[in-house]
Chains A and B, each alone.
Chain A
C-alpha cells in the first residue's frame, strides 16, 4: 500500500530552527509537496521537490532523497505565525497526491 509518515506534533522555540521529517512509500514518484495549513484555513503551497537535494526559499527549505524515500522541511528563525500544521504529500505514478496526516508545529515564546 501507499504510505506517508510524518510526526504528529512538534514543539519549537521562537527564533530557533526546526526540521519536520517525512518518509514515504508510494507506487511511483512524481514529486513531493509541502503545504502549510493554519487552523481553520485551507492549505497553502510551500515547496515542490522532484530531484534529490535541497531547495531553499527564504526561511523555509525542503530536502529530498528519492533513494531513501525521505524528505524534510526546515524552518529557520521561527516566528509565532509559523504555528500551523505542515502537510507532506507525494504525487504517485498516476499523478495522484498521497497525503500525510500532517505535523502540528507549536511555537513557544
Chain B
C-alpha cells in the first residue's frame, strides 16, 4: 500500500486559501486519493476523492499531477470552522481495512 506523508500542522487566517500537500511516491495504478476531515471528538468525514488531474466539489478541490506521486487539497477562503485534522489516504476504491489513517495535518485557522 502507498505510504503517505503530509505536514503535521499548518496555520492560516480566515479568508485565505489553504493548500495541504500529500506525498505518495509509491502510489499504485489502481489507487485513488481520498481526503477526510476530522473535528475534535468527532469521526472523520469524507471530503473529496480523485484519481488524476483535478476534482472539485462544494467543499474543496483536489489537484493531482500527472505522475500522481503527490496531491494537494485546496480549501478556498477558510473560516474558523475549518480548523480540523485533514487525512490523506491512498488505496484502491473500496479498500476498506487496507486504508491507514496516519497522523494527518492539523489545520489551525486564526481570526
A and B are interacting partners? no
- Could you list which residues of chain A lie within 8 angstroms of chain B, going by C-beta atoms? none
- Could you list which residues of chain B lie within 8 angstroms of chain A, going by C-beta atoms? none
